[in-house]
Chain A
Amino acid sequence: MAPRPTGIAMSESLRPVSKLETGIAGLDQITLGGLPEGRTTLVAGSTGTGKTQLALEFLIRGMEQYDQAGVFVTFEERPEDIRRNAAAFGMDIESWEAAGKWAFVDASDEGDEPNVVVGGYDLGGLVSRVAYAVRRVSAARVCFDSLGAVFGRFADVGVVRFELKRAADALREMNVTSILTAERTDEYGAISRFDVEEFVADNVVLLRNVLEKEKRRRTVEVLKQRGSPHRTGEWVFTIDPEQGLVVLPLSVQVSDQPASTERVTTGIDELDQMFDGGIYRDTVALAAGPTGTGKTLLATHFIAAGVDAGERCLLFTFEDSRDQLFRNTNSWDLDLEAMEATGTLQIICEYPELASLEDHFLSLKKAIDDFKPDRLVVDNISALERVATARGMRDTAIGLGAYVKQHGVTTLFTASSDLVGGSSITESHLSTLTDVIVLLRYVELEAEMRRSVTVLKMRGSSHDRLIREYVIDDQGMRIGEPLAGASGVILPSVAAGHGAGAPSSNG
């Protein structure tokens, strides 16, 4: 069930290298435990990919989560600018400096005097300053930002390379783990402009900021880590104003918790019967259907049943404003407003276009972490397709599914499908990770448009295979008898992944 980049790379040297957890959300998962301890990792990317952010967070997380002191060697930005950037994330570098746990080596300029080169030189001053700063604060982490600025300043590339290697070796002697940032000119070309990777760093992480179908995607890839396994492929990340850099999906582990055998109600008795007594507590369910078939209604029944049972419920909607939602649900005699007032229900309404897919994923995850729901509804996940690429959508869907599964949240996603078919991007991706799929359909029967419900799949249980009619009235959704004479109407399955229409349906 691991998402796309499933491979685990193991390089030729099998000598185990201990790793240092970075503390950056998600990065430690894809590196399988962090950066090689006592080594230098090259972080390369084109302009605006977040190299400096990653370097800065490497030090900040070290301070915050592991009480490890850090040294920031800056060739580009001035220390006061870096302090200010960190303050925007609520990090007070100055207080760490005062406590002797953080030091800057300011190599951003060499004073105000003009700089003239006469004869040969090395970067001994830099190397000794870095070593001195590391000793002074007993640093466990160092970052250098960035190589391009060093090479820009000192014309002798050979000298700079040699000196960087010297610095890296000195840090290794002191068992300090370091990050070196470097510029790339294009996303899929040479690792860096200066061919430094092969002698400075056995470990290379690439950051990308790719324009794909008019959408920006930031990705991180662990290209190599000598002597230690890591995950391969590109992983989406985002830079969140509160949480900083977060690599998605956050969890690539399949939950090893035993599957629940406890059944819970969907909120509709007849539907529970179709499931042979309700759905399992750790179910991730998908309700798919075209507009107007009652997906939001089904979701509202599902929520109301949770609230009735005293469960904490979280309703995340990309469809309606709060007012619209209350108005619609009141017409079915389901009072979400009153449920929310009890505190066991939280409703979050978001507009898909207002944020990127990654950011929506993060706010969903944060809401789950904060509210700790027993039940979750996301209505309607197809809305995210408006801000996502197919690939991003798949990653997000899988990441989200894995996350709720891990937390044992009874979850219902709703998704749109074409009027009769059923093969939207979301559905085909979601169907592989959902335990239960319910299809809502329009059926044209005897010159009348009616609605039908089918349980397409239920993992680990028998279920009703009949196609039943349902009606929506002021009592909500009521499911009735099997539709007679509707054979040939029901359509290729979602799971099968194609969406041909039925001959007798409106197409």
Chain B
Amino acid sequence: MLAEQADIEVVDVLTSPERAESEKVIATPTVLRLSPAPARRVIGDLADYHMAAAALGLRSSDGSSTDGHRDE
């Protein structure tokens, strides 16, 4: 679902520590939204879908922003 909207790169910090270094990642997992600007950074396993979506500024499938509170 998300794959249709975004380019996602998964980096394993254990095998690519230099990427963790260059992006200054300390906690894992960390999601970096690099584009569109402004960049965002969310730490954690994103267990709460809504909070995660809000934090990353994702749009839901109906096109509305998840910045507000909305039921599934």
Whether A269 sits at the interface, judged by CB under 8 Å, is no
Contacts of A109 in B (CB 8 A): 24
Whether A253 sits at the interface, judged by CB under 8 Å, is no
> Judging by beta carbons under 8 Å apart, are B44 and A132 in contact?
no
Docked pose: A107 CA to B23 CA in angstroms: 11
> Judging by beta carbons under 8 Å apart, are B48 and A123 in contact?
no
Docked pose: A122 CA to B30 CA in angstroms: 10
Interface string of B9-43 (1 = CB under 8 A from A): 00001100110110111111110100000111111
Whether A9 sits at the interface, judged by CB under 8 Å, is no
Contacts of B45 in A (CB 8 A): 118-121
A125-B13, A129-B21, A132-B17 known; A117 vs B28 contact (CB < 8 Å): no
Contacts of B29 in A (CB 8 A): 121
A126 to chain B, nearest CB (A): 4
Whether A116 sits at the interface, judged by CB under 8 Å, is yes
Whether A124 sits at the interface, judged by CB under 8 Å, is yes
Docked pose: A114 CA to B32 CA in angstroms: 11
Docked pose: A172 CA to B13 CA in angstroms: 20
A120-B47, A125-B13 known; A110 vs B41 contact (CB < 8 Å): yes
B34 to chain A, nearest CB (A): 9
A119-B52, A123-B26, A124-B28 known; A111 vs B41 contact (CB < 8 Å): yes
> Judging by beta carbons under 8 Å apart, are B13 and A128 in contact?
yes
Residues of chain B at the chain A interface (Cβ within 8 Å): 13-14, 17-18, 20-21, 23-30, 32, 38-48, 51-52, 55
Which parts of A126-141 form the interface with B (CB within 8 Å)? 126, 128-129, 131-133
> Judging by beta carbons under 8 Å apart, are A118 and B48 in contact?
yes
Docked pose: A216 CA to B44 CA in angstroms: 45
> Judging by beta carbons under 8 Å apart, are B27 and A123 in contact?
yes
Docked pose: A123 CA to B32 CA in angstroms: 16
Interface hub of B14, B26, B44 (most chain A Cβ within 10 A): B26
A107-B26, A110-B26 known; A124 vs B14 contact (CB < 8 Å): yes
> Judging by beta carbons under 8 Å apart, are B47 and A118 in contact?
yes
> Judging by beta carbons under 8 Å apart, are A126 and B40 in contact?
no
Contacts of A114 in B (CB 8 A): 40-41
Whether A112 sits at the interface, judged by CB under 8 Å, is yes
Residues of chain A at the chain B interface (Cβ within 8 Å): 105-107, 109-126, 128-129, 131-133, 154
> Judging by beta carbons under 8 Å apart, are A131 and B39 in contact?
no
B31 to chain A, nearest CB (A): 9
A71 to chain B, nearest CB (A): 12
> Judging by beta carbons under 8 Å apart, are B43 and A121 in contact?
yes
Sorted nearest first, the 9 A-B pairs with minimum C-beta distance are A132-B17, A119-B44, A119-B47, A124-B28, A119-B45, A125-B25, A113-B41, A116-B55, A128-B17
Q: Which residue of A lies closest to B48 (CB)?
A: A118
Interface hub of A123, A129, A154 (most chain B Cβ within 10 A): A129
Interface hub of A123, A125, A126, A133 (most chain B Cβ within 10 A): A125
17 A-B contacts (beta carbon < 8 Å): A110-B30, A110-B41, A111-B41, A112-B39, A115-B41, A118-B45, A118-B51, A119-B45, A120-B44, A121-B44, A125-B30, A126-B26, A126-B27, A128-B17, A129-B20, A132-B17, A154-B27
A300 to chain B, nearest CB (A): 65
Docked pose: A121 CA to B29 CA in angstroms: 6
Q: Which residue of A lies closest to B53 (CB)?
A: A118
Docked pose: A242 CA to B39 CA in angstroms: 44
Docked pose: A222 CA to B25 CA in angstroms: 34
Question: 8 more A-B contacts (CB under 8 A) besides A110-B30, A125-B26, A129-B26?
Answer: A118-B47, A118-B48, A118-B51, A120-B44, A120-B45, A121-B29, A124-B13, A125-B27
Q: Which residue of B lies closest to A112 (CB)?
A: B39
> Judging by beta carbons under 8 Å apart, are A111 and B24 in contact?
yes
B7 to chain A, nearest CB (A): 18
B43 to chain A, nearest CB (A): 5
A328 to chain B, nearest CB (A): 66
Which of B14, B28, B44 is within 8 Å of A123, CB to CB?
Answer: B28
> Judging by beta carbons under 8 Å apart, are A131 and B41 in contact?
no
A118-B47, A154-B27 known; A113 vs B39 contact (CB < 8 Å): yes
> Judging by beta carbons under 8 Å apart, are B39 and A117 in contact?
no
Interface hub of B21, B27, B28 (most chain A Cβ within 10 A): B27
> Judging by beta carbons under 8 Å apart, are A118 and B46 in contact?
yes
> Judging by beta carbons under 8 Å apart, are B24 and A106 in contact?
yes
Contacts of A154 in B (CB 8 A): 27
A122-B27, A125-B13 known; A132 vs B21 contact (CB < 8 Å): yes
B39 to chain A, nearest CB (A): 5
> Judging by beta carbons under 8 Å apart, are B52 and A110 in contact?
no
Contacts of A116 in B (CB 8 A): 40-43, 55
Contacts of B24 in A (CB 8 A): 106-107, 109-111
Which of B13, B21, B27, B44 is within 8 Å of A105, CB to CB?
Answer: B21
